[in-house]
Amino acid sequence: MAKKQFKAESKRLLEMMINSIYSQREVFLRELISNSSDAIDKLYYKALTDDSLSFNKDDYYIKIVPNKEARTLTISDTGIGMTKEELETNLGTIAKSGSLAFKKENEAKDGFDIIGQFGVGFYAAFMVADVVTVVSRALGSDEAYKWESKGADGYTIVPTEKETVGTDIILTIKENTEEDNYDEYLEEYRIKSIVKKYSDFIRYPIKMDVTESKLKEGSEDEYESVVEEKVINSMVPIWKKNKNELSTEDYENFYQEKHYGFDKPLTHLHINVDGTIRYNAILFVPENIPFDYYSEKYEKGLELYSNGVLIMNKCADLLPDYFSFVKGMVDSEDLSLNISREMLQHDRQLKVIAKNLNKKIKNELQSLLKNDREKYETFFKSFGRQLKFGAYSDFGANKEVLQDLLLFYSSKEKKLVSLDEYVSRMPEDQKFIYYATGESIDRIEKMPQTEMVADKGYEILYFTEDIDEFAIKMIMNYKEKEFKSVSSGDLGIEESESQEKSETKQNEHKELFEQMKKVLVDHVKDVRLSKRLKSHPVCLASEGDITIEMEKVLRAMPDNKDVKATKILEINPNHEVFEVLKDAFTKDQDKLELYTKLLYNQALLIEGLPIEDPVAFTNDMCKVMV
Ligand code: ADP
Ligand code: MG
């Protein structure tokens, strides 16, 4: 029998293939099972168009048989089989896909899910096998042929016997080496787990004899090993099922089976799109924060399937960072895959899908906010921070998507409110959306700066997270209302008569303030009469883009030690302290200096800013005492 040579550069190509196309060896099984599935599909398709053939679904299956003694792994199918010529062209020519040709010949037939297209998957078998033997009998033929190859060396084809139509692929598994374990591909549990991982949703049953330990009949404690043929794939992908037939429990089971998380999903989304790009997706929002979520280790992404075959474990491009908490999968028949089927060739389809999913996730969250507030708040407590980061990053490019999903604690409602809720109940004379920043709700409630705004009856949003104010700065305004910190220099509140009076008062005491300003010349830009204080003697306000709270956050980061807010010391003219200051100004300049410093340091303390010179501060305190 004459050995035939692979055509053209086949030898080199084969070697390259075997060693470099796939990142994981275990995918050889995915490739062979996909081929078997295609072969059965073709038979099914033929039966649809040829009345003389009947297709009884139960007769069509894939069977895997590991044999440790013989060191073989056999993958058999009851598919269409191959003639001698087909064995030669399809398996003797690398990058020749009989399946692609079949698809082209039978074009425009819907619901036809042939997987193969590149004509290389079969050779993945050589990643784990020294010898690959294919025994096949084609539909409508009495003859069977055996194709055999040891890889780059070439192949042989000889006649053989086979009782039924279909194909057996027999792999003689390689011996273990020091680095590599090949024995595992003969282990039941390993085969089962590879099938589960990549081929769980192949539409035909994948059968295997599975050994289980069972109670001996008539005995209570004696077990015996029982071998039983089992179907080891789930076959029907849940995402192809009708939504109406599925219960929440089904989705929860899927979430658990897929190990998307240890918790239960808070909500799920089942999407079937039949547009220019067809895809199905099931997405979940987890209930709990994954333990590594806010760390660099966390990898976002969705599982990507092509025709029910897993292509990518975590396709990051399907999710924007701000929705990185979403788990789930996408299956599409319209993806152009690269040759290893581990990556996409063009990301155009992917971009369309991603854009689409983005919209759907947003809508889902928004309807959750509207219809199930409690659930939404649970979600927001876990992932709200991520949404705020999203609003902040890329210079606010995503604010349109995210601003309606944000919640902040409200001074009035004493609970979380949305910006929409805030704006919709603003009194007519209120021009701004007011917020106060601080370490905790408790501390903000005690902030002197909130007095005036609260007194006006305006609602204040409490910002307790570092990111809050930064996110808001990027959003800039909501429904044409700008955001304003209660600590900002100008509060933008219509001035009442008494306040106008304070303007005159400011002028009356101009020299006093000038004097105080001189004392604090290195620390504040100005000293002024306050329009926002009611019961507290002093506070700090800021001017310009960087607020005091932002100064704190920024300075806590490396390289930002010099960031400073422009501060203004505000004095309450209605407080007794003001009288004391006036008195000192006329009678005792040293005292004025002492009091000014004390007041400034108190204002720092209230803000939660460090006192620049604590020793000097305590000495000053002592001076007041003695
Ligand atoms: P692809 O599946 O991308 O076409 P493969 O290298 O996996 O490429 O397979 C090459 C060709 O060999 C297939 O297109 C198909 O025509 C044929 N083939 C492979 N396995 C089988 C099988 N089990 N039954 C029938 N034909 C097969
Ligand atoms: Mg293939």
Two structure tokens written together for 130: 């020294």
Q: 8-231, what's its fold?
A: Heat Shock Protein 90 (3.30.565)
Q: CA-to-CA distance for 190 and 10, rounded, in angstroms?
A: 32
Strand partners, 332: 279, 306
Residue to mutate (ligand 1; options 33, 35, 62, 82; most atoms within 8 A of CB): 35
According to the model, what pLDDT value does residue 531 have? 84
- Residue 90: left if φ>0, alpha if ψ -120 to 50, beta else—which one? alpha
According to the model, what pLDDT value does residue 495 have? 62
pLDDT in tens, 579-603: 999 999 999 999 999 999 999 999 9
Residue to mutate (ligand 1; options 97, 117, 120; most atoms within 8 A of CB): 97
According to the model, what pLDDT value does residue 436 have? 94
Residue to mutate (ligand 1; options 36, 86, 99; most atoms within 8 A of CB): 99
What are the structural domain ranges in the chain? Answer: 8-231, 238-368, 374-485, 499-625
For the chain, give the number of residues: 626
According to the model, what pLDDT value does residue 10 have? 64
Q: 374-485, what's its fold?
A: Rossmann fold (3.40.50)
For the cut 80, the answer to whether the pLDDT of residue 283 exceeds it is yes
pLDDT in tens, 258-270: 889 888 999 999 9
How many CB atoms lie under 10 A from the CB of residue 189? Answer: 10
According to the model, what pLDDT value does residue 569 have? 94
Taking residues 541-565, what's their average pLDDT?
Answer: 83
Two structure tokens written together for 576: 């007794």
Strand partners, 170: 74, 133
Are 10 and 120 a contacting pair, CB within 8 Å?
no
According to the model, what pLDDT value does residue 499 have? 58
- Residue 140: left if φ>0, alpha if ψ -120 to 50, beta else—which one? left
Q: CA-to-CA distance for 310 and 294, rounded, in angstroms?
A: 27
Ligand 1 atom nearest the C-alpha of 120 is 6
Q: CA-to-CA distance for 375 and 495, rounded, in angstroms?
A: 42
Start-to-end Cα distance in the chain:
115
Q: CA-to-CA distance for 619 and 601, rounded, in angstroms?
A: 12
Q: What's 207-247 look like in SS3?
A: EEEEEEEEECCCCCCCEEEEEEEEECCCCCCHHHCCHHHCC
For the cut 70, the answer to whether the pLDDT of residue 482 exceeds it is yes
155 CB-near residues (< 8 Å, 6+ apart): 3, 4, 6, 91, 92, 147, 148, 149
**Ligand 1 site, CB within 6 A:** 31, 35-36, 39, 77, 79-80, 82, 90-91, 97-100, 116-122, 167
For the cut 80, the answer to whether the pLDDT of residue 381 exceeds it is yes
Identify the three-state secondary structure at position 2.
coil
Return the residue whose CA atom lies nearest to atom 21 of ligand 1: 35
Task: Choose from 164-178, 226-240, 437-451 the range with maximum mean pLDDT.
Answer: 164-178
According to the model, what pLDDT value does residue 140 have? 93
pLDDT in tens, 44-73: 888 877 888 877 878 899 999 999 999 999
Return the residue whose CA atom lies nearest to atom 20 of ligand 1: 35
DSSP 329: E
Helices (H), 259-409: 348-371, 373-396, 399-402
Return the residue whose CA atom lies nearest to atom 23 of ligand 1: 36
Nearest ligand for residue 120 CA: 1
CATH number for the segment(s) 238-368: 3.30.230.80
Q: CA-to-CA distance for 14 and 32, rounded, in angstroms?
A: 17
pLDDT in tens, 162-202: 999 999 999 999 999 999 999 999 999 999 999 999 999 99
Q: CA-to-CA distance for 157 and 84, rounded, in angstroms?
A: 8
Are 237 and 256 a contacting pair, CB within 8 Å?
no
Ligand 2 ion: nearby residues, β-carbon < 5 Å: 35, 116, 121
Taking residues 467-494, what's their average pLDDT?
Answer: 89
Place of tokens 């280790």: 297
Taking residues 392-407, what's their average pLDDT?
Answer: 93
- Bridge-based pairing of strands 566-571 and 526-529 is parallel
Instruction: Give backbone dihedrals phi and psi of 58, rounded to 5 degrees, phi first.
Output: -65, -20
Domain covering 499-625 assigned CATH 3.40.50.1100 in the classification: no
Q: At what angle do helices 614-625 and 589-607 cross, to 10 degrees?
A: 130
According to the model, what pLDDT value does residue 580 have? 93
Higher pLDDT: 229 or 505? It is 229
Strand partners, 481: 478
Residue 319: name the closest of 346, 345, 281, 291 by CA: 281
525 CB-near residues (< 8 Å, 6+ apart): 543, 566, 567, 568
Q: CA-to-CA distance for 81 and 503, rounded, in angstroms?
A: 95
